[in-house]
């Protein structure tokens, strides 16, 4: 075991798969010489050469389009987009071709492509550097959408994503990149896509979170425990396909649910989770399902960032409010 940040765990996953499978390639803007804007690919070009780890022009649509062509030719490309807000020019390739190719070829052509990029805010970045796009891509059939919350999960999920024969949108919460360290195996291991994890068992309330929000909820739970509140925390890990069964079973036990994410509220992941709970666990509910989300605004510039992202105290407030309703 080695102690790693999330960035180091991602580098380790890419390193392991580049060594394991000669068909794996990594590329994107500044991915080669510089090692990526967050240094997630640092040292990989020197180790595996310019034909397997390389820089691209500043053209996100072309990056994903090239990845699709590589996958058709039998390769397993891992394309990096520098920031969440930069992925929009590539959305045409992602939605019109990447997501549809297996369907379009009646299952004859798998599409083993990973599109990975930093997601969310909290690092006082500029406009188009703090977006939360998970609900957008989870909406399109043909895509899997993954967001880890820890270094250990990041490596295991990324290895599973690279080995998957369907396209995976791999979103990395940039606020967590270097915020925590964790023991991570140096070899290959896998965490299944589509399976949530119960991080803490509880009896009063179910809280579902993912990505950077998991740590915020965990901090709130420390104070909740002091007040005698028992919270069951589920880390979603995969946005789509969603592990509905784990959520429903938890709600059947606690009778209450609060969903926490930093993406805007309207048409978000919380809305989807609450709809599924209403469909499958309605008669077990002892209070209306609740959500704590970002606001329906563009993430603000650094000076106002603290007004947009909620602290653990706000999560604790919403936990109490849900229990009292």
Q: What is the chain's pLDDT, residue by residue, as a tens digit (325 residues)?
A: 899 999 999 999 999 999 999 999 999 999 999 999 999 999 999 999 999 999 999 999 999 999 999 999 999 999 999 998 899 999 999 999 999 999 999 999 999 999 999 999 888 888 888 899 999 999 999 999 999 999 999 999 999 999 999 999 999 999 999 999 999 999 999 999 999 999 999 999 999 999 999 999 999 999 999 999 999 999 999 999 999 999 999 999 999 999 999 999 999 999 999 999 999 999 999 999 999 999 999 988 888 888 888 999 999 999 999 999 8
Report residue 46 as tokens. Answer: 């020197």
Q: Confirm whether 139 is a catalytic residue.
A: no
Dihedral of alpha carbons 197, 316, 134, 77, sign: negative
- Which ranges in 257-310 belong to alpha helices (H)? 269-281, 305-308
Cβ neighbours for 42, distance < 8 A, ≥ 6 positions apart: 11, 34, 35, 36
Distance CA 28, CA 198 (A): 34
Give pLDDT, residue 123: 80
Distance CA 62, CA 66 (A): 6
Q: Are 155 and 184 in contact (CB under 8 A)?
A: yes
Give pLDDT, residue 192: 98
Tokens 């499958």 appear where?
A: 280
Give pLDDT, residue 127: 83
Cβ neighbours for 225, distance < 8 A, ≥ 6 positions apart: 231
Report residue 82 as tokens. Answer: 């520098």
Q: How far is CA 197 from CA 17, 244, 314, in A?
A: 24, 12, 23
Tokens 């429903």 appear where?
A: 248
Q: Which residues share a beta bridge with 182?
A: 4
- pTM of the predicted protein model: 0.96
Could you give the 3-state DSSP secondary structure of residue 124?
Answer: coil
Give pLDDT, residue 236: 98
Q: How far is CA 245 from CA 15, 78, 139, 236, 313, in A?
A: 34, 30, 19, 11, 29
Q: Are 25 and 69 in contact (CB under 8 A)?
A: no
Task: Pick the catalytic residue from 88, 97, 129, 139.
Answer: 129
Q: Are 270 and 322 in contact (CB under 8 A)?
A: no
Give pLDDT, residue 43: 97
Q: For residue 80, give the nearest of 39, 110, 114 by alpha carbon.
A: 114
Query: Both ends of the chain: CA-CA distance in Å?
Result: 45
Give pLDDT, residue 250: 98
């Amino acid at each position: 075991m080695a102690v790693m940040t999330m960035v180091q765990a991602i580098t380790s996953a890419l390193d392991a798969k580049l060594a394991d499978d000669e068909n794996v390639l990594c590329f994107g803007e500044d991915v080669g010489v510089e090692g990526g804007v967050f240094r997630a690919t640092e040292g990989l070009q020197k180790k595996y050469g310019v034909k397997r780890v390389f820089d691209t022009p500043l053209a996100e649509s072309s990056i994903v389009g090239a990845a699709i062509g590589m996958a058709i030719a039998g390769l397993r490309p891992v394309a990096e987009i520098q920031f969440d807000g930069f992925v929009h020019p590539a959305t045409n390739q992602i939605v019109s071709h990447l997501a549809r190719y297996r369907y379009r070829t009646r299952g004859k052509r798998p599409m083993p492509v990973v599109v990975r990029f930093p997601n969310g805010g909290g690092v006082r970045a500029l406009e188009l550097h703090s977006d939360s796009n998970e609900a957008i891509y989870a909406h399109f059939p043909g895509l899997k959408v993954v967001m880890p919350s820890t270094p250990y999960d990041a490596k295991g999920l990324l290895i599973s994503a690279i080995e998957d024969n369907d396209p995976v949108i791999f979103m990395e919460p940039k606020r967590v990149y270097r915020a925590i360290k964790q023991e991570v195996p140096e070899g290959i291991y896998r965490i299944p896509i589509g399976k949530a994890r119960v991080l803490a068992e509880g009896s009063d309330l179910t809280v579902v979170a993912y990505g950077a929000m998991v740590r915020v909820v965990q901090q709130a739970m420390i104070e909740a425990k002091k007040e005698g509140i028992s919270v069951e925390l589920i880390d979603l890990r995969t946005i789509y396909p969603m592990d509905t069964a784990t959520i429903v079973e938890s709600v059947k036990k606690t009778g209450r649910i609060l969903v926490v994410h930093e993406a805007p509220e309207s048409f978000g992941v919380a809305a989807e989770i609450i709809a599924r709970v209403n469909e499958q666990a309605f008669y077990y509910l002892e209070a209306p399902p609740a959500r704590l989300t970002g606001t329906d605004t563009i993430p603000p510039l650094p000076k106002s960032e603290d007004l947009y992202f909620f602290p653990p105290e706000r999560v604790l407030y919403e936990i109490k409010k849900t229990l009292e309703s």
